[in-house]
Amino acid sequence: MQEWLKTPPGQYLLAWEHAQFERVVADIFGYHALQLGLPDLDALSASRIPHRWVASPIAADGNLSETINNIASKSINTSDTAESRKIKVALFTEFEALPFAENSLDLLILPHSLELSPDPHATLREAERVLVPEGKLIICGFNPLSLWGFKQKRSHLYKRWNFGDLYLPEAGEMIAYRRLRDWLRLLNFDVEPGHFGCFRPAVRSAGLLQRFAWIDKLGERYWSIFGAVYFVVAVKRVRGMRMISPIKKLNKITNTTPVSVANKAINTKARFENR
């Protein structure tokens, strides 16, 4: 994924996603924020949250020196004023087991993390666990219903015949937008309307991408759901509970039907006359 982001399509994607994160993250307040995966994208640059982490998955070969230097160079801000100082810490953890307590994070960002995770369901459950009630979850991922997604599927077919290369990164699996919304709703997230971007054709040349820049405006207006990447914001909801007191046992109802005094006197007189 990191190598692909250095290509012209990868730079085009990073620029669009960075603009979306700056637009949304600036209005989210809290104390703790976490970006899980993709350290090349500084998704928390516009955040006002003081304590922030950038986490990467643990490498299988154990060689983390290059990734550590990459994150550290982008995560430390040596500002002179205490107000503008931004505290970031680099972490290495598994997506399915985050080293945070329950209900401890105000903001969690998953930039293509579900696609790269071996178990996206477990990653979402862990995200729901660490977020505070009303906490924000931001997810971006590749859209399979797009020109890029179609070319990736065709490239997979060609690769079986040893012909051509994949257009998108080989690692991971694309998750459809509607499918992701269903997963989030099952975890009691309220999903805001999604946003799609990167409508230019699946070309590799920087010149061709720049030549098709006019398609972005048309795509946002006429076929917005077919963008190459989607951007989703979800809010964790905790349903309120109501304690029900134990039902008290009702006393036996006795026959307390009122009897009129006049009717009683008439009945007594009738019985006396019959004698």
Domain-embedded: residue 274:
no
Domain-embedded: residue 268:
no
Please report the pLDDT score of residue 39 as a whole number.
Answer: 84
Q: Is the dihedral of CA 15, 17, 18, 24 positive or negative?
A: positive
Domain-embedded: residue 269:
no
Domain-embedded: residue 253:
no
Which residues lie closer than 8 Å to 262 by C-beta, 6 or more apart?
none
| E strand or H helix that includes residue 230 | strand 229-236
| E strand or H helix that includes residue 89 | strand 87-92
Question: Between β-strands 32-36 and 105-111, what pairing exists: parallel, antiparallel or unpaired?
Answer: parallel
Domain-embedded: residue 273:
no
Domain-embedded: residue 129:
yes
Supply the range of the domain harboring residue 52. 4-236
Number of structural domains found in the chain: 1
Please report the pLDDT score of residue 132 as a whole number.
Answer: 93
Domain-embedded: residue 171:
yes
pLDDT tens sequence for the chain (275 residues): 778 888 899 899 999 999 999 999 988 989 999 999 888 888 888 888 998 989 887 655 545 444 454 544 444 443 434 344 455 667 788 888 888 999 999 999 999 999 888 889 999 999 999 999 999 999 999 999 988 888 888 776 666 655 557 778 776 688 999 999 999 999 999 999 889 999 998 888 888 889 999 998 888 888 888 999 999 999 999 876 565 666 555 555 555 555 555 555 555 555 555 55
Q: Which CATH number characterizes residue 35's domain?
A: 3.40.50.150
Domain-embedded: residue 266:
no
Q: How distant is the alpha carbon of residue 272 from its chain centre? A: 90
